[in-house]
Amino acid sequence: LKFYGMTKDPETEELMMILEFADRGTMRSVLLHNFNNILWKDKIYCLFRIAYGLEKLHESGYFHKDFHSGNILQIAIRNEDFNYSYISDFGLSGPSTKQKSDDKICGVMPYVAPEVLNGEPYTLSSDIYSFGIIMAELSSGRPPFYKRKHDTTLALEICNGLRPEFGKGTPELYKKLAYKCMNANSNQRPTAKEL
């Protein structure tokens, strides 16, 4: 995304970035309104762009902490049938070296790694778990556990191995990678570079 500058909210005095307009909106909105027209090659390209952005973030020593389809912006590419995908909303991001175990759980619950739901600190691997959830969502066109309340019961089930469903016709290799990203053992997940 092109960066145009900074501004300050006059009431809260929070700094805000002025970025290129994401004409397609978020990945969540694209899936909601156009899922049946998205080809597998475009889904894979979308994930490639997201993995690339995540790799750059992790190489900088930062994790996202709020990684979900609502924080992935989509921009149409002229004369192409696909969108560019960009990770956004770094408000909860922080250096991976300054993580405290008493930090509060933040993010959208179905995308939060089970170890974080269990009170362990965020790690780079926690973002990889979220990437796996995004893979399932891109496959099915639906947010994870969209028919469920995001409550303690769901959190416990996620900690006990519940994972979102994939859409019909999802390639086995795709599911295998997504399940690897969603592994309950954070040490068994791939790195962003490996993705």
Note the pLDDT tens digit of each residue in 8-51.
889 988 877 777 666 676 778 888 988 998 889 989 988 998 89
Domain-embedded: residue 11: no
Domain-embedded: residue 22: no
Please list the alpha-helical segments (H only) found in the chain: 27-34, 40-59, 114-117, 124-140, 152-159, 172-181
Question: For position 180, which CATH number holds?
Answer: 1.10.510.10
Domain-embedded: residue 31: no
CA distances from 17 to 49, 92, 97, 137 (A): 21, 15, 25, 28
Question: What pLDDT, on the 0 to 100 scale, is given for residue 108?
Answer: 77
pTM: 0.82
Question: What pLDDT, on the 0 to 100 scale, is given for residue 82?
Answer: 59
Chain centroid offset of residue 1 CA: 17
Confidence class for position 84, pLDDT limits 50, 70, 90: confident
Q: Tell me which DSSP letter residue 184 carries.
A: S
Domain-embedded: residue 14: no
Which residues have a catalytic role annotated? 66
- The domain tally of the chain equals 1
Q: Which amino acid does the sequence have at 64?
A: H
Domain-embedded: residue 103: yes
Confidence class for position 6, pLDDT limits 50, 70, 90: confident
The boundaries of the domain holding residue 119 are 39-70+89-188
Domain-embedded: residue 49: yes
